Amino acid sequence: MHICAGVSLLSPPHSLSPAAFINHSCSSSLKPLLSRRSESYNLRTTVSASLNTRTHLENLSRLLSPVQREELPSAINQNDLLLPSLRLPHLFSPRPITEEDPSPRSLAHLRHLLSDSAQYPSPRRAIASRWSELHGCADWSGLLDPLDPDLRRELLRYGDFIHSAYHAFFHSPVSATDDPRPVSIPDRSYRLTRHLFATASIDPPNWLPSSWTSPRSSWIGFVAVCDNDREIRRMGRRDIVVALRGTSTFLEWAENLRANLVPLDACFQPKVECGFRSLYKTPGHRVQSLSTAVAEEIRRLVKLYDGEELSITVTGHSLGAALSLLVANDLNSSPNTPPVTVFSFGGPRVGNRAFAELLENRDVNVLRVVNAHDLVTKIPAAIDCGRRWLDGYEHVGRELRVDSRVSPFLKPDADPACCHDLEAYLHLVDGLGGGEGCQFRPNAKRSLARLLSQQRGNVKRLFVRKAMALGLDPTVNGGRAGLLC
């Protein structure tokens, strides 16, 4: 509508008055009924038109009259007063944007994210020409921000190995050490070659209920080797994986609390946490120590595949991340060892600065994935005395930082268990878009089914309702992997 200056719009034209319509109404002696009906119709039409015109003019008057700013509350946006003041019909009601508004691009994308698509992994490109770069030969320079797509797939793939370790343990946590344990490795190109056990050096007190106690030796992970020629060609080498789960038994929790630093070996400078070293070095009644079992199996596999290009990837979550550093340190101390890389998730500090320098001198490549709100990654606490660091704990390797608060699916006040959960870590790695603030990329592909089953209370209610509307029950437990440290 265009309004010209100098033209008065507030004086109604005479042709729109009711009297004008009545005076100009036609009557017919031949059709008196029609005449009366026509007069009645014209009168009703005229009155209606007059009322609409009056309302229209009042609206124009409100629109053109100045608004006194001092009469309006400061919290009210004056632009918001326009539509209500004109008394126009409510064609739509704007929906307020909340923190739970969905970000997926379409319902089909949301359905894919909420489905259990783990059996349909995203395609992986050939990395034969750059696998050593992805495994840290150049300290991951230029690959972390933004996160390289191939490195993202590698991290997710090794994270799923840890999931397999959790599932295998919770399937039968109190099985005898010599019983076969089913392990479902997500990548079928790998073959399990050895079961691994960790043994605590302390006995539970007698006053504890039997349901709280556990055997001193517990299954903690496995060694697997790539046994598929096609996958070997894609990766450019034969890969050996050591996967270790996190804390899951009472005695492992007790060992975690032994936070004093002790010498790693005969050399007194590098020191590590007492509890971690105990779980790593202590043999069981019928099982070898974790350190001996890993060393023997790696030597056997290196000898078996002598002449091939090999790599050793050690991966773990929480306690498994701490033990991964001890494993990698021992493996790289042996001559003729293939390149060793550690991909860890939510790992605590393990040793002092001398231990960190020892790993660096032995060319152990370490990439730590750390959630900014994960408390486990901040313990044991480092000791800072002015500018001089005392003999306290220090992290090892490069850090890849993620942030659970930037996920559009997780609540911003997610609890500490969610911030440390393995599946939450993999969800954040899949969505990590790079840039300041760890922005979440809109084209993340990892399924939310496992995250819903394990951290339903920390997923925004909107997506829980969406999952149920799509016929997916988020209460079904898809596995307990990553629930514990």
* Candidate list 217, 318, 324, 447, residue with the active-site label: 318
DSSP, residue by residue, 157-172: HHHHHHHHHHHHHHHS
Torsion of CA 23, 24, 26, 32, to 10 degrees: -30
For 102, the token pair is 């969905």
Q: Are 275 and 257 in contact (CB under 8 A)?
A: yes
Per-residue DSSP letter, 11 = S
Give the Cα separation of 195 and 189 in Å (integer): 18
Chain centroid to Cα 196, Å, comes to: 28
Question: What three-state secondary structure class fits 399?
Answer: strand
Give the Cα separation of 80 and 27 in Å (integer): 50
Place of tokens 């009557």: 27
Task: Give yes or no: 420 in active site.
Answer: yes
Give the Cα separation of 192 and 226 in Å (integer): 9
For 307, the token pair is 């002449």
For 125, the token pair is 């490109």
* Candidate list 374, 395, 404, 447, residue with the active-site label: 374
Task: Give yes or no: 175 in active site.
Answer: no
Strands 432-434 and 398-402 turn out to be: unpaired
Distance from first CA to last CA of the chain, Å, rounded? 66
Give the Cα separation of 219 and 221 in Å (integer): 6
Kindly provide the residue ranges of all beta strands, DSSP E only, lying in 164-297, ordered along the sequence. 190-199, 217-226, 238-244, 261-263, 271-273
* Candidate list 135, 163, 373, 420, residue with the active-site label: 420
Torsion of CA 356, 361, 364, 365, to 10 degrees: 80
In sequence order, what are the beta bridge partners of 343?
Answer: 315, 367
CB within 8 Å of 362: residues ≥ 6 apart = 329, 332, 333
Name all contacts of 40-47 with Cβ < 8 Å and 24+ positions apart: 43/18, 45/21, 46/18, 46/21, 46/22, 47/18
Task: Give yes or no: 28 in active site.
Answer: no
Which amino acids are annotated catalytic? 318, 374, 420
